[in-house]
Amino acid sequence: MESFSIDEVFLDMTGTSLIYPDPIQTAHEIKDKIKNELGFTVNVGISTNKLLAKMASDFEKPDKVHTLFPNEIPVKMWPLPVRDLLFLGKASEKKLTEAGMYTIGDMAHARETEIQVLLGKKAGHQLYRYACGIDDSPVKAQPEEAKGFSVETTFNDDIVSVDQVLPILLEQCDVVATRMRRKGKKCISVSVTFRTLDFKNKSHQTTLPNATDTTDEIYKKAKKLFTESWKGEPLRLIGVALTNLTDESFEQLSLFEDNEKKERKRKLDATMDAIRQKFGNDKITRASIMNSNSGIARKARAQMKNEDEKPE
- DSSP letters of 55-92? HHHTSS-SS-EEE--GGGHHHHTTTSBGGGSTT--HHH
Cα 259 to Cα 76: distance, rounded to the nearest angstrom: 60
Q: Is 187 within 8 Å of 176 (Cβ atoms)?
A: no
The DSSP secondary structure of 93-161, one letter per residue, reads: HHHHHHTT--BHHHHHTS-HHHHHHHH-HHHHHHHHHHHTT---PPP-SSPPPPSEEEEEEEEEEEE--
Contact 174, 292 (CB under 8 A): no
The one-letter code for the residue type at 162 is: V
Number of Cβ within 10 Å of residue 287's Cβ equals: 7
- Compute CA distances 243 → 100, 147, 161, 213, whole Å: 38, 7, 27, 11
Residue 245 Rama label (left phi>0; alpha psi -120 to 50; beta): beta
Cβ atoms of residues 50 and 13 within 8 Å: no
Q: Quick one: which of 99, 133, 102, 105 has its CA closest to 118?
A: 99
257 in catalytic set: no
- Residues 2, 8, 93, 112: which is the catalytic one? 8
Query: What residues does 187 pair with on adjacent strands?
Result: 212, 245
Beta bridge partner(s), residue 237? 154, 195
Rounded CA gap, 214 and 181, in Å? 9
Tell me the three state secondary structure of residue 236: strand
What's the Rg (C-alpha) of the chain? 22
Cite the active site residues: 8
